[in-house]
Structure 1
Amino acid sequence: MKDVYINKVSIFLPNRPISNDEMEEKLGTINGKTSKGRRIVLRNNQIKTRYYAIDDDGNITHNNAQLTKEAVVALCDQDFKTEDIELLSCGTSSPDQILPSHAAMVHGFLQNGNLEINSPSGACVSGMNALKYGYMSVKSGETKNAVCTGSERTSSWMMSDTFEEEVKHLETLEENPILAFNKDFLRWMLSDGAGAVLLESEPKGKQPLKIEWMEGYSYAHEVEACMYAGGDKLEDGFLKPWSEYPSDQWSKKSLFAMKQDVKLLSENILVKGVDSLKKAIEKHNLKPEDIDYYLPHVSSYYFKDTLYKEMEVQGVKIPWENWFMNLSKVGNVGAGSIYIMLEELVHSGKLKKGDNILLSVPESARFAYAYALLTVC
């Protein structure tokens, strides 16, 4: 088996940062009314700016595959060209269409010759699954390099015409902010963007990162679907797919809008997350104090303190000073968030040889979690 190194990290964030006050102008109002839940959700998620693939005239500037293509191109230079890519592995929860696959569409925009492609489906963990496929390919010697990506273009999903009505029960939201995690909540959280990494079997560049291990855990055998799109959740928890509804019901039931079962989210996301974290670090004999930088993908800063408390309860507390996050600046880019966090850390000048970086990515779709340990070379 080969060692695997992240030799380059790049990102692409479209257009300019959008402030909280500009969001509703960009996405539109629902039924002509300003959202009652917006300020509550923003106060709790603490996101200050985010990016949309929408220009100041309201025109869409990039689809998901185009965002991803730009991040891949940003990896390349005279020493490594797009034509040198042997494997392209692209994860997203918001592909531009059902078929062809996301990676196929990115490859089509790259126009860089014949190569292998991989398109893991899912939500936020799809970006980590894209990374793991590339990691295993290079590690096994199947390919000499792999470019792996995570991306989202959800702004078009969040436009006002996608929603039938705004969040109700404002008084309840004030008492328990987690109840805002539904269609309206997602509007004030999600962001567009893409990140990419170059994996190779030899360390190159200024500060390559060795991938020590990657782990993934699913709790779908224990918990029903929580966040979903393309279906309707029945009273017994069964997720009925859009294809089993007549076409005139697709819009009436908002079958293609993202939704969340907020009760399931609050009961499971942190408990299962820390349980899986504990499994991963114990499997590899890693102690919390061995982690120099902890990069947790969270959808909202609302979860930060409660995540820390759950770590204390389960005996895997990672000190605050070792956490690294940029959610407030870039928003929640789903499958791309972990790449965008890593890129900022790599270019921060903070890293030194021997530092351990733990990547931690949850997804609430049906509660899956992915981890990777990196060492600075």
Structure 2
Amino acid sequence: MSEIRAGILGTGMFVPDRVVTNDDMAKIVDTSDEWITERTGIKERRFAADDVFTSDLATEAAKIAIANAGLTAKDIDYILVGTASPDNSFPNTANYITKNLDVIGTPALDVSTACSGFIYCLELATSLVNSGKYRNVLALGAETLSKITDFRDRSTCVLFGDGAGAVVIGNGGHEVIATKCYSHFNYDALNRPSSGMRIMPSTENIEEGYQYIRMNGREVYRFVVSTCVEMLAEALESNNLKPEQIDLFIPHQANAVMLDFAKKKVGLENARMVININKYGNTSSASIPMALAETVDANEIKEGELVLLMGFGGGLSSGYAIVRW
């Protein structure tokens, strides 16, 4: 029996139709297009309609990725979804997707590590395929962050957008040659206080906005330029790679200024970096698979190139993947 080598068979992405520009945001809070663009690189983002949820966006991205893999939904053996904005705590978002794709009975799992969620899903999907137990695993990142954004907080509400990205992992394709995930506990840096049992919903908590995303931008910036840079250096060293061997760098789309700094600090100046935060904002777990799918659709990855994916976010958490295209 030949050795199994898990790889990416197909990619897909999907975003809502509604475009919300910085000028639109300036009508809601005290901000401006110039202020947002200079500090984040964001020009616009997409918001889902009130009756559209994370599983809906994920389903559309999944259909595209499955078709691009030359498969049907019935060929998918396992579904993994990274999300910080699930339809419900339970049933999980992945469960809704099995219904939408008419594959009820397929094992389906949500991964709740916010912006790192897709990398976690990718590592799990790769392991499941390499185990030989599952043939084709769908790994997604999907969000409707507009539904949990506090539009009274100008420091965060301008950042987030909605969207979904997906990959199908199977034997062959573009090999996932390395993955690694990390957990770094720092609750205060990035959280959604009233999203579980620790802080239950109440009139007082709702008035305080505990149901919305809260972020300490300075803490997140410090985390990325220190811990995440160290993680990338370790990723290269442990896989016997030099920075100049990386052809394409696809990081979580958090802040264009911060990402450019991190890229230079780790020595990836020669690598092309995918940035689409200008169009979609920070879409948390969806940002990496969306950026990958968009790059594939534009035919901007050459065969044989090394692609480095980096995720970081709530928890705090982080992770990377290296793919040989």
TM-score norm. by structure 1 comes to 0.79
- Aligned counterpart, 1:281: 236
Q: Which letter does structure 1 place at the counterpart of 2:238?
A: K
2:95 maps to which of 88, 96, 104 = 104
- Aligned counterpart, 2:321: 372
Local SS of the residue matching 1:151: strand
- Aligned counterpart, 1:251: 206
Does structure 2 retain, via aligned residues, the 8 Å contact 1:118–1:130? no
CA distance in 2, matches of 1:262, 1:323: 22
Q: Which letter does structure 2 place at the counterpart of 1:63?
A: F
CA distance in 2, matches of 1:38, 1:256: 27
Q: Which letter does structure 2 place at the counterpart of 1:140?
A: S
**In terms of mean alpha carbon deviation, does 293-302 or 191-200 score higher?**
293-302
Cα–Cα, structure 1 residues 19 and 119, in superposed 2: closer, same or farther, change >3 Å?
A: same
CA shift for structure 1 position 20: 2.0
Local SS of the residue matching 1:88: strand
- Aligned counterpart, 2:41: 46
CA shift for structure 1 position 224: 4.7
Query: Does residue 327 in structure 1 map to residue 277 in structure 2?
Result: yes
CA shift for structure 1 position 109: 2.2
CA distance in 2, matches of 1:262, 1:191: 17
Q: Which letter does structure 1 place at the counterpart of 2:142?
A: S
Output aligned runs, 1:66-77, within 5 Å: 66-77=56-67
- Aligned counterpart, 1:193: 163
CA distance in 2, matches of 1:61, 1:22: 21
Q: Which letter does structure 2 place at the counterpart of 1:247?
A: S
Query: Does residue 85 in structure 1 map to residue 48 in structure 2?
Result: no
CA shift for structure 1 position 361: 1.0
After superposition, the CA RMSD in angstroms is 2.4
CA distance in 2, matches of 1:69, 1:92: 13
CA shift for structure 1 position 77: 3.9
Local SS of the residue matching 2:237: helix
CA shift for structure 1 position 113: 3.6
Does structure 2 retain, via aligned residues, the 8 Å contact 1:48–1:329? yes
Output aligned runs, 1:345-356, within 5 Å: 345-356=295-306
**In terms of mean alpha carbon deviation, does 76-85 or 194-203 score higher?**
76-85
CA shift for structure 1 position 94: 0.9
- Aligned counterpart, 1:294: 249
Q: Which letter does structure 1 place at the counterpart of 2:170?
A: E
Gaps of 5+ in 2: none
**In terms of mean alpha carbon deviation, does 331-340 or 341-350 score higher?**
341-350
Count of aligned pairs between the two proteins: 322
CA shift for structure 1 position 357: 0.5
Gaps of 5+ in 1: 55-59, 164-182, 204-208, 233-238
Query: Does residue 338 in structure 1 map to residue 282 in structure 2?
Result: no
Cα–Cα, structure 1 residues 341 and 123, in superposed 2: closer, same or farther, change >3 Å?
A: same
Does structure 1 retain, via aligned residues, the 8 Å contact 2:149–2:157? yes
Output aligned runs, 1:307-322, within 5 Å: 307-309=262-264, 311=265, 316-319=266-269, 321-322=271-272
Does structure 1 retain, via aligned residues, the 8 Å contact 2:150–2:156? no
Cα–Cα, structure 1 residues 267 and 103, in superposed 2: closer, same or farther, change >3 Å?
A: same
CA shift for structure 1 position 266: 3.7
Q: Which letter does structure 2 place at the counterpart of 1:279?
A: E
Local SS of the residue matching 1:295: strand
CA shift for structure 1 position 61: 4.5
CA distance in 2, matches of 1:241, 1:194: 29
Does structure 1 retain, via aligned residues, the 8 Å contact 2:66–2:168? no
CA offsets per residue over residues 20-42 of structure 1, 9 Å max, x none? 223456xxx3xxxx424775234
Does structure 2 retain, via aligned residues, the 8 Å contact 1:42–1:188? no
Output aligned runs, 1:170-189, within 5 Å: 183-189=153-159
TM-score norm. by structure 2 comes to 0.91
Q: Which letter does structure 2 place at the counterpart of 1:215?
A: K
- Aligned counterpart, 1:176: none
CA shift for structure 1 position 375: 0.8
Q: Which letter does structure 2 place at the counterpart of 1:198?
A: V
CA distance in 2, matches of 1:326, 1:141: 35
CA distance in 1, matches of 2:85, 2:296: 26
CA shift for structure 1 position 107: 1.7
- Aligned counterpart, 1:228: 191
Local SS of the residue matching 1:230: coil
**Which has the higher Rg, Structure 1 or Structure 2?**
1
CA distance in 2, matches of 1:362, 1:159: 22
Does structure 2 retain, via aligned residues, the 8 Å contact 1:41–1:185? no
Does structure 2 retain, via aligned residues, the 8 Å contact 1:38–1:185? no
Does structure 2 retain, via aligned residues, the 8 Å contact 1:269–1:367? no
Q: Which letter does structure 2 place at the counterpart of 1:371?
A: Y
Output aligned runs, 1:108-123, within 5 Å: 108-123=99-114
- Aligned counterpart, 1:5: 7
- Aligned counterpart, 1:62: 52
